[in-house]
Amino acid sequence: MRLVRHPVLCNYYVTYRCNAKCSFCDIWEKPSPYITPQDVAQNLRDLKRLGVKVIDFTGGEPLLHRQLPEFLALAKQLGFITTVTTNGLLYPKNAEKLRGLVDMLHFSLDSADRATHDRGRGVACYDFVLESIRVAKELGERPDILFTVFRHNLADLQVVYDTITRPNGLMLIINPAFEYGEVETGESLTDAELDFLSAFGKRRGVYLNEGFIALRRDGGNHVAAPVCRAASTTLVISPSNELVLPCYHLGEQKFAIEGRLFDLYHAPETQRLAALEGRLPQCEGCTINCYMQPSFAVETSKYFWRALPSTLKYNLEKGTWKQLLKF
């Protein structure tokens, strides 16, 4: 049963540019402009009309955009929940400007070993993550550590938990890696490794969406009976001010927004593409977390019930449940 029939999340790409070169990502390879304040102001108003609750200002590296604090402030004024994920390189010098504007601030960290983390990110950023934690805590912020899990770094979860997140009172978010297009992340996690993650996710101060584990056990999205609701739950806006459908990672078609996002989303051609969510040949086996998380939240299914306890746990620990109640 569908519970919510409007988009709830916007992945707003402020730029595709990045100051890192992560091996499991190809976004940084794309040439890219930066979003403009005029477009952001109009789009945020239309996103509000469309029923969106959460704005994820993303990239690339979102902190490369010098006007990001202005965008976050406007989003907060309009009542959105805001989220930003950063590699930490630019956070310390921008922390004061961002203070109080990001509800869910994530620092990416994939190992407790400096060399291992920096090698995966293609740039020396480990020390900047630790410095970002220190600065954020001094400012009264409550960042999370976003740990992207591969087979080769499973053992690092325990060390990061023991030496970084728990001592600092941070939430450890477990983000199982996923493949898309020509970007490969190595061998899939085995059932035993999924069991390990599931058990680890039950610890205090750890968030793991159990729906992700269930979906991987089931072989991902299946086009014959899709669980993906990417296009109807999530709006993707490119740095060139385009609506990307059915999702960023497929990017089948891009529509110039030109100040008419609300009408564009409801246009027949847009809705035709949205109706193909989870049904395209490329959707078979998909496990992309950033679309599955909202998909699980809007429709009752076994994934909804598997995801619910961990989602409630995160919102209770972070306090964001208070904002969700307003909606």
Is the predicted pLDDT of residue 28 greater than 80, yes or no? Answer: no
pLDDT per residue as tens digits for the range 192-204: 999 999 999 999 9
Is the predicted pLDDT of residue 183 greater than 50, yes or no? Answer: no
Mean pLDDT, residues 142-158 taken together: 94
Q: Are 133 and 91 in contact (CB under 8 A)?
A: no
Give the per-residue pLDDT at 250: 78
- Run of H or E residues at 174: strand 171-176
Prior bond of 246 cis (ω within 30°): yes
CB atoms within 10 A of CB 2: 9
**Predicted TM-score of the model (pTM):** 0.94
Q: What is the DSSP string of 45-68?
A: HHHHHHT--EEEEESS-GGGSTTH
Instruction: Give the list of residues 6+ apart from residue 203 with CB closer than 8 angstroms, or none.
Output: 161
Q: For the domain 9-326, what is the CATH code?
A: 3.20.20.70
Burial bucket for residue 319 (CB in 10 Å: 0-12, 13-18, 19+): exposed
Mean pLDDT, residues 144-158 taken together: 94
- Which parts of 90-125 fold into alpha helices (H)? 91-98, 114-121
Domain boundaries, the chain: 9-326
Residue 132 structure tokens: 């970002």
Q: How confident is the model at residue 322 (pLDDT cuts 50, 70, 90)?
A: low
pLDDT above 90 covers a percentage of the chain that reads: 82
The larger pLDDT score, comparing residue 138 to residue 20, is at 138
- How far apart, in whole angstroms, are the C-alpha atoms of residue 249 and residue 85? 18
Is the predicted pLDDT of residue 324 greater than 60, yes or no? Answer: no
